[in-house]
């Protein structure tokens, strides 16, 4: 398998899992959420909120990309921006009550998907997959 084939397989795996999550969120009453929105739900501090720049860093996205996701979620009523008490120039992104409920459902949907995947692969293959993906995404450069 070439590197392009590996990349294609990883991307297709991501697409399949993302589609499953979106479908599950729709069934749970959130038909307007998309897989890309999870970058906020996964990385936001649920109680205090998080600066946009920190969300971008945690989500491994550009600030501009994260801003688009936050803008979309804000227009849908899931988050709001508030003044940062420590820096008048900055804003903190906070979940609304609707957003907190959606984040909880998203966590449940992710857990259910992981449980189904573990059941499908079996414990040993699932753990091997997780460990391998963790190694690939650890941020270390590939050695020739």
- Residue-wise pLDDT for 31-75, tens only, equals 999 999 999 999 999 989 999 999 999 999 999 999 999 999 999
**What is the model's pTM?**
0.83
The residue among 73, 80, 79, 93 whose CA lies nearest residue 32 is 73
Cα 22 from Cα 31, distance rounded (Å)? 8
What was the pLDDT predicted at 139? 66
Q: Give the Cβ contact number of residue 70 at 10 Å.
A: 23
* CA distances from residue 28 to 37, 63, 111 in whole angstroms, order as listed: 15, 30, 14
Mean pLDDT of the chain: 91
Q: Quick check: is 6 in a domain?
A: no
Q: Quick check: is 10 in a domain?
A: no
Does the pLDDT at position 143 exceed 70? no
Q: Quick check: is 140 in a domain?
A: no
Cα 121 from Cα 127, distance rounded (Å)? 9
* CA distances from residue 80 to 52, 76, 83, 97 in whole angstroms, order as listed: 11, 10, 10, 10
Domain assignment of residue 122, given as a range? 17-135
Q: What is the pLDDT of residues 91-109, one digit of tens each?
A: 999 999 999 999 999 999 9
Quick one: average pLDDT of 126-144?
80
Does the pLDDT at position 137 exceed 90? no
What was the pLDDT predicted at 87? 87
Q: Where does the pLDDT of residue 140 fall: very low under 50, low under 70, confident under 90, or very high at 90 and above?
A: low
Cα 67 from Cα 61, distance rounded (Å)? 10
CATH of the domain at 108: 1.10.10.10
Q: Quick check: is 39 in a domain?
A: yes
Q: Quick check: is 143 in a domain?
A: no
Number of domains composing the chain: 1
What was the pLDDT predicted at 144? 46
Compute the Cα dihedral for 38, 103, 98, 51 and give only its sign.
negative
């Amino acid at each position: 398998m070439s590197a392009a084939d590996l990349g294609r397989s990883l991307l297709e795996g991501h697409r399949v899992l993302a589609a499953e999550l979106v479908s599950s969120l729709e069934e749970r009453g959130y038909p307007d959420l998309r897989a890309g929105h999870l970058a906020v739900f996964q990385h936001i501090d649920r109680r205090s909120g998080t600066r946009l720049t920190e969300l971008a860093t945690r989500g491994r996205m550009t600030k501009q990309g994260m801003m688009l996701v936050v803008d979309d979620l804000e227009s849908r009523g899931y988050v709001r921006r508030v003044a940062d008490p420590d820096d008048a120039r900055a804003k903190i992104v906070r979940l609304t009550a609707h957003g907190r409920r959606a984040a909880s459902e998203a966590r449940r949907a992710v857990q259910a998907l992981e449980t189904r995947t573990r059941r499908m692969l079996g414990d040993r293959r699932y753990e091997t997959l997780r460990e391998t993906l963790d190694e690939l995404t650890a941020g270390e450069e590939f050695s020739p």
